[in-house]
Copies of this chain bind each other. A is one copy, B any other.
Amino acid sequence: MTIIAILGGTGHEGSGLGLRWAKAGHQVIIGSRTAEKAQSAAIELNAKLGVTSVQGMDNLAAAQAADLVVLTVPYAAHAATIESVRTAVQGKIFVDVTVPLVPPKVSRVQLPAAGSASQEAQTLLGADVKVVTAFQNISAEHLKDPDHTIDCDVLVCGDDKDAKTTVIQLAADAGMTAWDAGPLANAVVPEGLTSVLIGLNMRYKVKSSGIQITGIK
């Protein structure tokens, strides 16, 4: 069992991940800007699962209480949220799910100067935080139905091998196949791929396109 804080966990992606991890027996803490919003989301997840284990806290308290911290905020809140928990996450695994979308052209890849949001996170957090990027390409719609089989693989990038192994296992616990996709420098691919998939959804009139790795399984 891992104590997982999901910052911005009241959103669709974060609450979907929280639901699946709580169902798999992990201790999930939903984080939000206010403890009240987080607690409402936690109550909802507990009711949906018939459990009482999910907690809600403000982002900082959630990050302090957790072994592993997951960030699922819109890109506009990325840097500020990271700054607010920097001390609390030192030495921990920090899973960045953020996609640097630039509205309104969200189907156009527009990566930040540092290369990717995850590389920005590593710079802001410092070398003692194990930043891993994952889950950007997974449909929130599919995550929040725990019985839906997810047909999109997870690309996991990071510079710490053990941290990636932990995240690959967490993906499996949530019903997903994940792959070690290389160093954090490779995060441009899953982050950029999100815009490509949003564009495919629009052009081919589907809701949840994804990718699967072939030639391995």
Partner of A206, one of B181, B208, B215: B215
Assembled-state Cα–Cα distance A110/B115 (Å): 9
What are 20 inter-chain pairs, A to B, with CB distance below 8 A?
Answer: A108-B183, A108-B186, A109-B188, A151-B214, A151-B215, A155-B196, A179-B200, A179-B204, A180-B200, A181-B196, A181-B199, A182-B199, A186-B192, A186-B195, A189-B192, A192-B192, A206-B215, A209-B216, A210-B213, A210-B214
A residues within 8 Å of B by Cβ? 107-111, 115, 139, 151-152, 155, 179-183, 185-186, 188-189, 192-193, 195-196, 199-200, 203-204, 206-216
Asked if A216 contacts B212 (CB within 8 A), the reply is no
With known contacts A107-B182, A186-B195, A209–B215 Cβ distance under 8 A: yes
Chain B residues near A107 (CB-CB < 8 A): 182
Assembled-state Cα–Cα distance A189/B189 (Å): 5
Asked if A110 contacts B185 (CB within 8 A), the reply is yes
Partner of A196, one of B186, B208, B214: B186
With known contacts A182-B195, A186-B199, A192-B189, A212–B209 Cβ distance under 8 A: no
Asked if A204 contacts B216 (CB within 8 A), the reply is yes
Chain B residues near A195 (CB-CB < 8 A): 182, 186, 189
Asked if B199 contacts A108 (CB within 8 A), the reply is no
Closest 5 CB pairs between A and B? A182-B199, A209-B215, A189-B192, A210-B214, A151-B214
Asked if A214 contacts B209 (CB within 8 A), the reply is yes
A109-B182, A206-B215 known; 7 new pairs, CB 8 Å cut-off, are A151-B215, A181-B196, A186-B195, A189-B189, A189-B193, A209-B213, A210-B214
A14 to chain B, nearest CB (A): 21
Assembled-state Cα–Cα distance A107/B196 (Å): 21
The residue of chain B having its C-beta at the shortest distance from the C-beta of A109 within the complex is B186
Assembled-state Cα–Cα distance A217/B155 (Å): 21
With known contacts A211-B211, A213-B209, A215-B207, A111–B188 Cβ distance under 8 A: yes
Chain B residues near A185 (CB-CB < 8 A): 108-110
